[in-house]
Amino acid sequence: MKEQQHAVTKDGEVKTDKVEQTIDRIGDDKKDQILQDFEAFKQYLHKRIKIGESIGLGEEQLAKVAERVADYLAANEDPRNSEEKLLQELWKVGDKEQRHQLAHMLVRLSQNA
């Protein structure tokens, strides 16, 4: 897969406008597997965060990507468990700054998964 198709390049450049395209390339079966169980979701995020950290992304850059992922999930995916439902409801009622802070918390939560 070509690098220009990824949201994060090898040199650590974050292209948040590519997050939705990247998620859309995940097959439905894989997406269901990731989202079915909250622990599996955290583990998936943990692996992606570790990759981001290994190429030099800081927490702020990771949080910006997490925001785009959360925007996508809130708009396109139904929650599959109570934890995801809570996150979706918090996302809906939060303003831009609150969503950004929630994205930071999700990064931290997933770093410790």
In angstroms, the CA 59 to CA 107 distance is: 7
pTM above 0.85, yes or no: no
In angstroms, the CA 45 to CA 1 distance is: 21
DSSP class of residue 7 equals: S
Query: What φ, ψ does residue 34 adopt, rounded to 5°?
Result: -70, -45
- pLDDT digits (tens), the chain, 113 positions: 444 566 666 666 667 677 788 888 888 899 999 999 999 999 999 999 999 999 999 999 999 999 999 999 999 999 999 999 999 999 999 999 999 999 999 999 999 88
In angstroms, the CA 96 to CA 98 distance is: 6
In angstroms, the CA 63 to CA 70 distance is: 10
